[in-house]
């Protein structure tokens, strides 16, 4: 499955492997060592074990994912600016941005 995704996606797609229900150690099917082996074998970018029941590593997963994606975005943006890629054009805010999320609302006098 990972090979198919890599074949048909952009080169900057990142893969996360998240093992859930870490609190059920005695019911584990995949060992941590095997999961780490998978990450190396398939070029997975990030691995973590979590438990939503106990909260173990749940917040860490989301914080790490946000940091990871932001760094990836910054690298992408820097590469495209350095290469003067026209596909990365930052548009200035238009005068009428009432349709935009977080945009200015038109104020009318009554």
Identify whether 109 is part of a domain.
no
Give residue 86's pLDDT: 58
Q: Is residue 7 part of a domain?
A: yes
Tell me what pLDDT residue 103 has: 45
Pairwise CA distance, residues 83 & 94, whole Å: 26
Domain assignment present for residue 73? The answer is no
Q: How far apart are CA 29 and CA 32, in angstroms?
A: 10
Token pair of 103 as six digits: 């945009």
Residue at 89 is within a domain: no
Consecutive 10-residue averages of pLDDT for the chain (110 residues)? 85 89 93 94 94 96 93 83 62 41 46
Domain count, the chain: 1
- pLDDT value of residue 73: 85
Report if residue 28 sits inside a domain.
yes
pLDDT of residue 41: 93
Structural domain range at position 37: 2-61
* Structure tokens given for 24: 């059920």
- Measured between alpha carbons, how far is 61 from 46 in angstroms, rounded to an integer? 10
In-domain check, residue 90? no
Whether residue 49 is contained in a domain is answered as yes
Q: How far apart are CA 56 and CA 51, in angstroms?
A: 5
In angstroms, the CA 53 to CA 108 distance is 51
């Amino acid at each position: 499955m990972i090979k198919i995704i890599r074949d048909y996606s952009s080169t900057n797609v990142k893969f996360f492997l998240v093992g859930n229900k870490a609190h059920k150690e005695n019911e584990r099917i995949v060992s941590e060592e095997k999961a780490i082996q998978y990450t190396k074998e398939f070029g997975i970018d990030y691995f973590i074990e979590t438990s939503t029941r106990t909260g173990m590593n749940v917040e860490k997963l989301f914080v790490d994912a946000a940091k990871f994606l932001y760094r990836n975005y910054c690298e992408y943006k820097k590469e495209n600016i350095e290469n003067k890629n026209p596909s990365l054009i930052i548009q200035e805010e238009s005068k009428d941005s009432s349709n935009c999320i977080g945009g200015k609302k038109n104020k009318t006098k009554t």
